[in-house]
């Protein structure tokens, strides 16, 4: 049976990714949609990129670019390590690339460059790292940086009065554009929640793997999900990310 599975923010936690793929019993028939932020936090960012590149040779994969991926891509291209990036988890990524040769770095840069900013499927479901602000949809977004940074879409969805009918003029126009929207970027830990969260038709799959949470895979049709162990338990002695 073919499934479409979305995967939340990994943040360098290769052990968590391997574990949760095993728990979800992922096969080559499944389509995997990664919602971004592959790097920054735990010690295996470079290994995560290498792993998912190889995984894409075995089965259908869609890779969405997150804000941390943009930082890493810029560093791989220019050699300049942005101070904000290193403060927010990039230092661990730099260390993970210390023994990586130039050819592999070049291949990783090309991989980052080919990542999508967002994806829609035949059932009008949107997959995006963070969100968008245009009332006409992401294709009309004035600042593409919102795809990897915006939090207003999720904040609106999680606080909106769900008793208001979807056909009402009061229902947010952005949410009417899609059947469902899948995002990462904003850890559910911010809401004292360790599981995926749903607000209106928006599903947040970032369950805080960068911090004290777990990595999550969710089946978009059944809404069944699987989680890794708390990622901090898989990397004893490491701090992960201590900033958003």
**Mean of pLDDT values over 151-178:** 95
pLDDT per position as a tens digit, 55-83: 999 999 999 999 999 999 999 999 999 99
Domain assignment present for residue 62? The answer is yes
Q: Is the pLDDT of residue 241 over 90?
A: no
195 is a domain residue = yes
Between β-strands 216-219 and 225-227, what pairing exists: parallel, antiparallel or unpaired? antiparallel
- The confidence score (pLDDT) of residue 184 equals 98
Other CB atoms closer than 10 Å to residue 232's CB: what's the count? 21
Give domain status of residue 170, yes or no.
yes
**Domain span at 117:** 4-234
pLDDT digits (tens, 9 = 90+) for 90-102: 999 999 999 999 9
- How far, in Å, CA of 21 to CA of 46, rounded? 18
Give me the number of domains the chain comprises: 1
Residue 243 has pLDDT above 80, yes or no: no
pLDDT of residue 239: 86
Residue 112 lies in a domain: yes
Instruction: Find the mean pLDDT for residues 197-216.
Output: 97
Residues near 227 by beta carbon (within 8 Å), at least 6 away in sequence: 20, 23, 195, 207, 214, 215, 216, 217
| Cα–Cα distance list, 26 to 12, 39, 125, 172 (Å) | 20, 22, 21, 35
The answer to whether residue 226 sits within a structural domain is yes
Is the separation of the CB atoms in 148 and 70 below 8 Å?
yes
In a domain, 180, yes or no: yes
- Note whether residue 243 is domain-resident: no
CATH number of the structural domain spanning residue 32: 3.60.21.10
Residues, the chain, total?
Answer: 244
């Amino acid at each position: 049976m073919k499934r479409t599975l979305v995967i939340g923010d990994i943040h360098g936690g290769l052990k968590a990714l391997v574990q949760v793929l095993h728990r979800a019993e992922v096969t080559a028939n499944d389509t995997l949609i990664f919602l971004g932020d592959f790097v920054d936090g735990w010690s295996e960012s470079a290994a995560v990129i290498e792993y998912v590149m190889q995984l894409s040779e075995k089965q259908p994969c869609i890779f969405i670019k997150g804000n941390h991926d943009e930082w890493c891509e810029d560093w791989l291209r220019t050699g300049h390590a942005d101070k904000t990036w290193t403060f927010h988890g990039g230092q661990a990524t730099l260390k993970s690339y210390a023994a990586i040769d130039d050819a592999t770095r070049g291949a990783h840069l090309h991989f980052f460059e080919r990542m999508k900013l967002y994806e829609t499927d035949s059932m009008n479901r949107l997959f995006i790292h963070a969100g968008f602000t245009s009332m006409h949809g992401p294709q009309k977004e004035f600042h593409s940086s919102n795809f990897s940074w915006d939090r207003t879409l999720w904040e609106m969805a999680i606080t909106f009065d769900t008793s208001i009918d979807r056909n009402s003029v009061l229902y947010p126009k952005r949410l009417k554009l899609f059947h469902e929207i899948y995002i990462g970027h904003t850890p559910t830990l911010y809401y004292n929640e360790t599981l995926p969260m749903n607000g209106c038709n928006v599903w947040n799959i970032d369950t805080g793997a960068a911090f004290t949470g777990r990595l999550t895979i969710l089946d978009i049709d059944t809404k069944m999900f699987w989680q890794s162990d708390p990622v901090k338990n898989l990397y004893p002695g490491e701090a992960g990310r201590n900033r958003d």
